[in-house]
Amino acid sequence: MIRVGLTGGIASGKSAVGDEMARLGALVIDSDQLARDVVAPGTPGLQQVVDRFGPEVLGADGFLDRPRLGAIVFGDDGARADLNAIIHPLVLAARNQIESQVLDPYAIVVSMIPLLVEIGAAKSFDVVVVVDVGPDAQLARLMARNGLSEAEARARMSAQVSREQRLALADFVVRNDGTLEQLRERVHAVWHELLRLRGGMGDGCGC
8 annotated among ligand-binding-site residues: no
Concatenate the DSSP letters of all residues of the chain into one string: -EEEEEEESTTSSHHHHHHHHHHHT-EEEEHHHHHHHTTSTT-HHHHHHHHHH-GGGB-TTSSB-HHHHHHHHTT-HHHHHHHHHHHHHHHHHHHHHHHHT---TT-EEEEE-TTTTTTT-GGGSSEEEEEE--HHHHHHHHHHHHT--HHHHHHHHHTSPPHHHHHHT-SEEEE-SS-HHHHHHHHHHHHHHHHHHHTS-S-----
162 annotated among ligand-binding-site residues: no
93 annotated among ligand-binding-site residues: no
End-to-end CA distance of the chain: 21
168 annotated among ligand-binding-site residues: no
The order of strands in the sheet holding 127-132 is 27-30, 108-112, 2-8, 127-132, 172-175
16 annotated among ligand-binding-site residues: yes
151 annotated among ligand-binding-site residues: no
Query: Residues comprising the binding site for ATP?
Result: 11-16
- Residues in the annotated binding site: 11-16
